[in-house]
Amino acid sequence: MFSKILIANRGEIACRVIRTAKRLGIRTVAVYSDADRDALHVALADEAVHIGQAVARESYLSKEKIIGAAQRTQAQAIHPGYGFLSENADFAEAVEAAGLIFIGPSPASIRAMGLKDAAKALMERAGVPVVPGYHGEEQEPGFLAEQADGIGFPVLIKARAGGGGKGMRRVDRPEEFAASLEAAKREAKSAFGDDVVLIEKYLVKPRHIEIQVFGDSHSNVVHLFERDCSLQRRHQKVIEEAPAPGMTEEMRSAMGEAAIRAARAIDYSGAGTVEFIADVSGGLSPDRFFFMEMNTRLQVEHPVTEAIAGVDLVEWQLRVASGEPLPKAQDELTINGWSFEARIYAEDPSRGFLPATGTLSHLRFPEGDVRIDAGVREGDSITPHYDPLIAKLTVHAPDRAAALAKLTHGLEQTQVAGTTTNLDFLIRLSRQPEFAAGHPDTGLIDRDVEALTSAQQPDDAALAIAAIVEAGGFARAAGNDPWLSLGAWQLWGKASRPVTLHFAGGHRDCRVSTEGPALFGVAFDGRTIPVRLFEAVGVARHVEIDGRQSHVDIFETPLGMTLFLDGHTHHFHRLDPLDGGEEAASGGDRVIAPMPGLVKIVRVREGDAVVKGQALIVMEAMKMELTLTAARDGIVESLHVGEGDQTSESAVLLSLRPEDTA
> Is 27 among the catalytic positions?
no
Residues 73 and 28: their CA atoms lie apart, in Å, by 10
Q: What are phi and psi of 18, to 5 degrees?
A: -60, -40
Q: What is the CA radius of gyration of the chain?
A: 27
Prior bond to 154 cis, omega within 30?
Answer: yes
| Positive or negative torsion for Cα 263, 264, 267, 271 | positive
- Could you tell me the strand order of the sheet in which 371-374 lies? 289-295, 270-279, 206-215, 221-233, 236-242, 338-345, 389-397, 371-374
- If one counts every other C-beta atom within 10 angstroms of the C-beta of residue 147, the result is 17
3 state SS of 292 = strand
Distance CA 349, CA 424 (A): 9
| Cβ pair 559, 575 in contact under 8 A | no
What is the rounded (10 degree) CA torsion for 98, 104, 108, 111? Answer: -110
- Give the whole-angstrom CA distance, residue 130 versus residue 124: 7
Residue 541 in contact with residue 533, Cβ under 8 Å?
Answer: yes
CB of 467 within 8 A of CB of 522? yes
Cβ atoms of 156 and 116 closer than 8 Å: no
User: Terminal CA-to-CA distance of the chain, rounded, Å?
Assistant: 75
Report the amino acid identity of residue 425.
F
CA 120/CA 275 separation, integer angstroms = 12
User: Facing residues of 599 across strands?
Assistant: 619
Distance CA 92, CA 415 (A): 39
Centre a 10 Å sphere on the Cβ of residue 298 and count the other Cβ atoms it contains: 26
Catalytic residue among 233, 297, 541, 590: 297
Report how far residue 224's alpha carbon sits from residue 595's, in angstroms, rounded to the nearest whole number.
Answer: 40
The full length of the chain comes to 662
Q: What is the DSSP letter of 182?
A: H
Question: What is the rounded (10 degree) CA torsion for 122, 125, 128, 134?
Answer: 60
Dist CA 366 CA 222 (whole Å) = 34
Query: What DSSP element (H or E) covers 281?
Result: none
Nearest of 348, 440, 339 to residue 393 by alpha carbon: 339
For residue 65, which phi and psi values (nearest 5 degrees)? Answer: -65, -40
Residues marked as catalytic: 297
